[in-house]
Amino acid sequence: MNKYKKIIDKNIEKYLNEFEDRKNPLFKAMYYSLFPGGKRIRPVLALETCKMCGESFSKAMPGACAVEVIHNFSLVHDDLPCMDNDDYRRGKLTVHKKFGTANAVLAGDALLIFAFALLKNIKDKIVMSRTLGQMTLCSGSFGMIGGQAYDVKYEGKKKTEGLRKKINYLKTAELFILSVQVGAIAAKADQEQFKHISEYGRAFGEAFQIRDDIQDNEYADKEKTRQMKCLDKYIMRAKQTLDIFGKKADNLKALVEKLKEV
């Protein structure tokens, strides 16, 4: 994964300087939220998917960076006092603690718009159109933001297992699905390949959420054992969905396998 991080960071910074006004007060807050980033796992998934489907990973770079920007927008807004009210993110002050709540709201808004602006760098108009459609679907009210709305509505309330799964799917899995779909679209994968790749993204997202909850000590010991089994199940499912790609899927299979490192 580290082999991609530097080039992803370099491209995000290049796009940011190209599309955003460095003199605007929001620029520092946007830059602060994006750097230093986490592991960049979502764009890595996009690039590896593109490679698996037979194209150079550079074809997927604009879309991969756009997904990462959307992810960071969601973190800025998640941390706000009206949401999770967190003071720290990745070991440093959250954006609203550093720049103020109003600037954090505006910076998050600007990041979301910036993500869509990045698609201008996709030269193939059909690829750009399909990427735009999937980004809108997976990040909007039918996807990640919709999941956040459910999370806010049921904050502090008892949730059924079905509702909890729905919120986790929308908030977390949808963006992982988008990540691999961006790579598949860039490589012009066929319909059957796209279906399997999307299933991989969903299983990856489900496993990722379970892994995060285990790490955050969300479960009692007995429940934790059950969730570890669920984690193994989703990891296995993710790997099986890519069997049609043979050895070309080894890197993506290795990435989901790393989620066992709880």
pLDDT digits (tens, 9 = 90+) for 145-200: 999 999 999 988 988 989 988 999 999 999 999 999 999 999 999 999 999 999 99
Q: What is the pTM of this model?
A: 0.94
**Phi/psi of residue 89, nearest 5 degrees:** -145, 125
What pLDDT sits at residue 37? Answer: 81
- CA-angle at 208, arms to 190 and 62, nearest 5°: 50
For 256, list phi and psi in degrees, rounded to 5: -70, -30
pLDDT at 252 over 70: yes
pLDDT at 253: 97
What are the boundaries of each domain within the chain?
Answer: 2-189
CATH code for the structural domain at 2-189: 1.10.600.10
**pLDDT tens for residues 98-143?**
999 999 999 999 999 999 999 999 999 999 999 999 999 999 999 9
Query: Which two three-digit tokens encode residue 37?
Result: 């980033």
Helix (H) or strand (E) holding 214: helix 191-215
